[in-house]
Amino acid sequence: MPKQQPSRSMTKQDTNPPRKSFERYQWLVLITLMIASFLGRLDGTIVNLALPRIIQDFGITVSQASWISTAYIIANAIFVPVFGKLGDLIGRKPLYIFGIVGFTITSMLAGLSFNLPSMVIFRILQAITVSIDYPIALSIIAFTFADRQQRAQAMGMWSGIFAAAVVFGPLLGGPLVDNFGWRSVFYINVPLGILGTFMALRYIVEPVKHIKGLANFDLLGSILLGISLGTMVLVLDQGQGWGWGSTNSIICYIISAVTLVLFLFVEHYAKEPVVDLKFFRIPTFSAAITTSFISFLGMIGALFLLPVFAQNFLGYSVTKSGYLFIPMAVCLMFAAQMGARLSRVFPARYIIAAGMFFSALMLFSFSGIDIKWTFWDMAWRLGLFAMGLGIGLAPLTNAATATVPIHEVGIASSVLALARNLSGAFGVAIFATVLTDSVTSNLLQIQKYSTIHTTNPQVIQQIYALMTVKANINAFGTVFHWAVFFMVIGGFAAFFVGEPKHQAASDHPMEL
């Protein structure tokens, strides 16, 4: 008697767990993803606190030490879109596990660095492995949470971890460096990385069932995009020191522009493009990416200067500067959940726009920043600013990913991550330049309309010092005016974010 073959339904049941069994672990999957995301974002902030000790230990200059951060930023920007595409081609779970294992190992190696070249190499490897997290995590969330409302809530919770990392960077970094040395800021990733690896192996289900492989991988497009992004981020990071019109900067502009044009040409003919340009013909996707870029530019560009003000003009320690962002982190995580729930009732565009406009109002309240401000004068403003930003964060992230077919969420997520990474680089470059130029301009204006009725050198020196302080304070106010401008533009851009139409509201296929 011939052996009975399993039925189609039995085969499917063997390869894919029942939906109810699968959904039982979805929140554990989210926690797993949040661990790796937290580590990656934490590393971006905590290492900067250790730079003074690294400079002293390695006997290097501040300019040389800047490459520890610059190399990390460039490598991260280059590989985010590449891994977003690779996840769709070779599977997301193995790539995600490779990322968190690789990040854990490279963190340990960075802690064992013995000179500047070894540190830069290990930081590049760290950035490559951490760049896997963002696009792959978002695509896993999109697959794991079939219900659209739960998906928006999950994305809100996952997005809130970024705020937590911003806060815990100074809070953990200061005591770690002071008590255990600079190497401890890398070693702290190891135990959490091991925990995240075991949870990923246990709970994450592979979304991609039909592996395409690397036969049609867009290698040329990836190389061209990497060169374009690398030179762009390099000039944004180093341009102020080089001079925006210097030879080095001009060379970077030319290389970045030429390779970008070539990349766009190649993508039109690639079988598996690393960035599918057809996404930008989807109005909701384009509007969500544009809104993210503009609003994050204003947010990051302004907020990265607040610790500088607190430490240089209010005399705060690094740890106390970190305390300023605790209300921001709490409010952002709370507001992200609120925004996810509001998106069930109101169109996403109105929620996002309202959040951006409210955030712009809070940034405007910072334009009167002064050395007389207390800790709470800044903390409550940051908290309310985060409320506005958080309300729109989950609907905005969901709009960018849910508007594309479910099997292409990885690519869409990588584009969103790239937009936010580049916006941060642009924001820091623009606002640092605005601050520097404003200080110079303000000082000239103050000196022009000031009359000094003394010839005492000590008194004159004190007067000039006070003039410099006043010029700096006014310059910070100018920075926040620019931040308001970008947030308002982001609010208007949000009105073009439509409702996702490609994915079903409550279900999607198990197989991709």
Query: 272 pairs with which residues across the strands?
Result: 217
Where is pLDDT greater, at 34 or 498?
34
Tell me the pLDDT band of 262, cut-offs 50, 70 and 90. Answer: very high
pLDDT over 50 at 509, yes or no: no
Residues with Cβ within 8 Å of residue 291, at least 6 apart in sequence: 352, 356, 396, 490, 493, 494, 496, 497
Distance, CA of 80 to CA of 72 (rounded, Å): 12
pLDDT over 80 at 108, yes or no: yes
Please list, residue by residue across 390-415, b when 16 or more beta carbons sit within 10 angstroms of its beta carbon and e when fewer do.
Answer: bbbbbbbbbbbbbbbebbbbbbbbbb
pLDDT of residue 358: 92
Where is pLDDT greater, at 382 or 408?
382
Q: What contacts 24+ positions apart, CB below 8 Å, involve 265-272?
A: 266/218, 266/220, 266/221, 266/224, 267/218, 267/221, 270/216, 270/218, 270/220, 270/221, 271/216, 271/218, 272/85, 272/89, 272/212, 272/216, 272/217, 272/218
Residue with tokens 């009167």: 368
Interval 6-60: pLDDT, tens: 443 333 333 344 444 456 678 888 888 888 888 877 777 788 778 878 888 888 8
pLDDT over 60 at 5, yes or no: no
Distance, CA of 352 to CA of 337 (rounded, Å): 13
pLDDT of residue 209: 67
Average pLDDT in the chain? 80
Interval 209-240: pLDDT, tens: 666 667 778 888 888 988 988 888 888 878 87
| Max CA distance (Å), the chain | 114
Please list, residue by residue across 305-334, b when 16 or more beta carbons sit within 10 angstroms of its beta carbon and e when fewer do.
Answer: bbbebbeebbebebebbbbbbbbbbbbbbb
pLDDT over 90 at 251, yes or no: yes
Interval 274-315: pLDDT, tens: 877 877 888 888 888 888 888 888 877 777 778 778 878 888
- CATH tag for 19-215 (out of 1.20.1730.10, 3.30.2350.10, 1.20.1300.10, 1.20.1250.20): 1.20.1250.20
Is 17 in a helix, a strand, or coil? Answer: coil
Residue with tokens 């949870």: 199
Tell me the pLDDT band of 364, cut-offs 50, 70 and 90. Answer: very high
pLDDT of residue 210: 64
Residue with tokens 């993210």: 292
Helices (H) and strands (E) in the chain, counts: 20, 0
pLDDT over 60 at 479, yes or no: yes
Is 347 in a helix, a strand, or coil? Answer: coil
pLDDT of residue 211: 66
369 CB-contact burial (10 Å; exposed 0-12 / middle 13-18 / buried 19+): buried
Is 214 in a helix, a strand, or coil? Answer: coil
Mean pLDDT computed over 324-331: 81
Tell me the pLDDT band of 208, cut-offs 50, 70 and 90. Answer: low
Tell me the pLDDT band of 68, cut-offs 50, 70 and 90. Answer: confident
Q: Rank 8-12, 128-132, 253-257, 425-429 by mean pLDDT and report only the highest.
A: 253-257
pLDDT over 50 at 113, yes or no: yes
pLDDT of residue 473: 85
CATH architecture of 275-512: Up-down Bundle (1.20)
Residue with tokens 């910072």: 366
Where is pLDDT greater, at 21 or 112?
112
pLDDT exceeding 90 applies to what percent of the chain?
A: 12
pLDDT over 70 at 1, yes or no: no
pLDDT of residue 255: 93
Q: At what angle do helices 283-303 and 375-402 cross, to 10 degrees?
A: 160
Distance, CA of 400 to CA of 416 (rounded, Å): 7
